[in-house]
Amino acid sequence: MIRFLFRRLMWFVVTMTVVMSVSFFLMKNVKGGPFDTERALEPAIEANIQARYHLDWPLWKQFLHYTGPFNLDERGLGGNQEKVLGGVLSGDFGPSFRYRDFTVNDIIGQALPISALLGVVSMMWALALGVSTGIASALRRGSGVDLALRLAATGGIALPNFVIAGFLIIIFVFMIPLLPVAGWGSIKEMLLPGFCLGLVYAAYLARLTRTGMLEALSQDHIRTAQAKGLSPRTVVLRHALKGGLLPVVSYLGPATAGILTGSLVIERIFFIPGLGSHFVNSASNRDYTLAMGVTILYTVLVYSMNTVVDLAYTLLDPRIDLAEEA
């Protein structure tokens, strides 16, 4: 276990270095800048702004200043050149180039809890619908119920979530006025956007659960349990379910990271002030620090969740040895 975690930590350092480097230099090489406007600025004003945000530095120096490990701000160094821990390594993503009164940490701190709560609600919908329908489909393989559930899962994967959201708004807001169409804060306001965001994930989970359960039900120990006269409920819940959920656990790692960072389309449709809209706006506004901050956050979430998934494998299947995986 210790060896496995140590190797994962080493690969985490490599992964973060590559992601930060590629993201930073790609953004810097895109035409346009965060302070480009239809009205040209005075040269002196533009020079002051460039100096304020260190955009007049060479790229390598901007990169080292942003990522750390040292604060390269010459105004604070003077003759002593005291170097202190700074940049991303200290948890400081810097000021936002577009939202002048806010830092990137402020924006993420305000938007991430909203997207995370939306993600939790969506994941609850996804797990409840996906796992239950996948098990039902596997237990009734080849029947009409199996065919209907597979068609529903295929439709959930094929239809974009904004199409699903449009239909559900028409039904549950206008035709049957049960839920609000916008806003955030109450449970009723969370149900509809959470369902729309989680439905696509539920469709994938249903397909993966069905595949995993069919494979688990064909194992020798399952046939032995059935031959001993155990009830179908006991065979499924105590013997087949753990092995059948292994594909689901593999998918939950990146899916959870993706769903927690929010969905731009769903957040825009339901007017939810989450992190997804900030991510896309940062790219269109050339807000380098905000785009980098959200990218780093997403990378950390994906890597962490994948590590948790690998650890969960040992609980679901004792035959898996993390020492061999390391």
Confidence of residue 49 (pLDDT cuts 50, 70, 90): low
pLDDT, one tens digit per residue, over 278-325 is 887 787 777 888 888 888 888 888 888 888 877 777 776 666 666 555
Amino acid at 323: A
Buried b (16+ CB within 10 A) or exposed e, 20-41: beebbeebeeeeeebbeeeeee
- Specify which residues 103 forms β-bridges with: 95
Position 80 confidence tier, pLDDT thresholds 50, 70, 90: very low
CB 194 within 8 A of CB 125: yes
- pLDDT at 37 > cutoff 50: yes
Describe the crossing of helices 104-139 and 288-316 by its angle, rounded to 10 degrees.
30
Q: What is the DSSP letter of 41?
A: P
Contacts 24+ apart (CB under 8 A), 27-30: 27/286, 27/288, 27/291, 27/292, 28/59, 28/62, 28/288, 30/286
Cα distances from 51 to residues 55, 59, 76, 81, 85, in angstroms, run 6, 14, 14, 19, 21
**Which residue matches tokens 């939790």?**
120
* pLDDT confidence bin for 181, thresholds 50/70/90: confident
Decide if pLDDT at 78 tops 50. Answer: no
Residue 138 has, within 13 A of its CA and on its CB side, a CA count of 26
Quote the pTM value. 0.74
Helix (H, G, I), strand (E, B) or coil at 32: coil
Which residues belong to CATH 1.10.3720.10 in the chain?
Answer: 105-325
CATH code of the region 105-325: 1.10.3720.10
Give 87's DSSP letter: G
Coil, strand or helix: which one is 55? coil
Question: Mean pLDDT across the stretch 140-154?
Answer: 89
Q: What CA–CA distance (Å, rounded) separates 146 from 232?
A: 18
Tokens of 38: 């239809």
Residues 6+ apart with CB under 8 A from 88: 20, 66, 67, 68, 292, 296
In the structure, what pLDDT confidence band is assigned to residue 40 with cuts at 50, 70 and 90? low
pLDDT value for 148: 92
